[in-house]
A = this chain, B = another copy of it.
Amino acid sequence: MRIGELSRRTGVSVPTIKFYVREGLLPAGRLTSPNQAAYDETHVRRLRLIRALMDVGGLSVAAVREVITAVDDPERPVHALLGEAAERMVPRYGGEPAEGEEGDGEEDGGLVEARERVDALIREREWRCFPGSLAAEALAVALAALGAVGHERFAEVLDDYADAAERVARADLEYVGRHVVREELVESVAVGTVLGDALFAALRRLAQIDASDRLFGGKGEKGTEGEKEKE
């Protein structure tokens, strides 16, 4: 198929497809003549992956490129890939939130303390991961941020969160073991990690709405009344 059909089938505009090729997210089409190229199902699939990661997972072009590079590299040992894939896609909150750069001694945002707490958690649960990994740091940053806004005691529910996280991780791996063939393993982990975050966040919100309605709302009727869709 030519680029026009690829565009139609994926809902991505032609210039945007060219942009993705330039950015290294999508392999170029196979040239059949100096100004004609053929695209196939792999391009359709890849394009859908890109859009899913960006639209639903909220990843940037650069992040998508990293994920895709890992997905495309056939050399990497599976387990390294899994760890890496999971590591690399800490969405946006992953970078350097520049939380303690003022360094005036007055505050470090409680990051040091939070890191200790994270290390302790990992030790307690005997999780096999580097304590200094990006995910561990992201966790510490989130904990420190909670402390900074006056919710340091939120850490008390950390264990409940960790239980839930273990359950989700177990479900993920079970799914992978059940349905995924070896060549698709890495992509599945990438997809599952990114889209799974969005999935879980949405579920959590629904469950929260339900729980808070039962606790605080629940003026007899069902459902949050009003609930104006948008503005």
Secondary structure class of chain A's binding surface, majority of residues: helix
A218 contacts B by Cβ under 8 Å: yes
* A170 vs B204: C-alpha distance when bound (angstroms): 10
A164 interface contact, C-beta 8 A: yes
Least CB distance from A217 to B in Å reads 3
A202 touches B154 (CB 8 A): no
Q: Which residue of chain B is the closest to A197 with respect to CB atoms?
A: B201
Contact of A209 among B79, B156, B164 (CB under 8 A): B79
A195 and B142 form a contact (CB under 8 A)? yes
- A55-B98, A97-B55 known; A174 and B230 CB under 8 Å? yes
Give 5 new A-B contacts, CB below 8 A, not counting A57-B93, A193-B208.
Answer: A8-B106, A11-B107, A56-B97, A79-B219, A165-B200
Check A93 against B56 for contact (C-beta < 8 Å): yes
Binding site for B on A (CB under 8 A): 8-11, 45, 48-49, 51-52, 54-58, 77-80, 82-83, 86-87, 90-94, 97-102, 104, 106-107, 122, 125, 127-130, 132-136, 138-139, 141-143, 145-146, 148-151, 153-154, 156-158, 160-175, 177-179, 188-189, 191-193, 195-219, 222-224, 226-231
Kindly state the separation between the CA atoms of A223 and B132 in the bound complex, as whole angstroms.
11
Please determine whether A207 and B175 come into contact, CB atoms closer than 8 angstroms.
no
Nearest-neighbor residue (CB-CB) of A100 within chain B: B11
State whether A189 and B203 are in contact (beta carbons under 8 Å apart), knowing that A168-B164, A175-B156, A231-B174 are contacts in the complex: no
Q: Which residues of B contact A78 (CB under 8 A)?
A: 212, 216-217
Q: How far is the CB of A134 from chain B (nearest CB, A)?
A: 7
Whether the pair A209, B133 counts as a contact (CB closer than 8 A) is yes
Name the one of B58, B175, B226 contacting A94, with C-beta atoms under 8 angstroms.
B58
21 contacts between A and B (CB under 8 A): A52-B145, A78-B216, A79-B209, A79-B216, A80-B224, A83-B217, A86-B212, A90-B205, A91-B201, A127-B207, A136-B206, A139-B206, A146-B191, A151-B195, A157-B171, A161-B199, A170-B211, A172-B211, A173-B212, A174-B230, A200-B204
